[in-house]
């Protein structure tokens, strides 16, 4: 299967444009994820960080 792609893209005339578009899409996605992570307040992550521990406390109460 890889040989098919290798053969197809080696004869492609505008392969540089495809590479540039893919690189731009990857970078946009990467920076969007970074923005999303750093835009959340720290309290949100503190709450999410404690969720697994709250589950253990509830299980211990039942035992």
User: DSSP string spanning 1-62?
Assistant: -HHHHHHHHHS-TTHHHHHHHHHHHHHHHHHHHHHHHHHS-HHHHHHHHHHHHHHHHHHHHH
For the chain, the domains span: 2-62
Per-residue pLDDT 10s for the chain (63 aa) are: 677 777 776 777 777 888 899 999 999 999 999 999 899 888 888 877 877 776 665 555 544
| pLDDT computed for residue 57 by the predictor | 58
| pLDDT computed for residue 29 by the predictor | 98
């Amino acid at each position: 299967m890889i040989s098919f792609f290798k053969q197809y893209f080696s004869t492609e005339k505008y392969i540089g444009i495809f590479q540039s578009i893919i690189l731009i899409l990857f970078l946009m996605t990467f920076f969007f994820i970074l923005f999303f992570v750093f835009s959340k307040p720290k309290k949100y992550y503190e709450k999410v960080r404690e969720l697994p521990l709250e589950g253990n406390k509830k299980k211990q109460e039942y035992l």
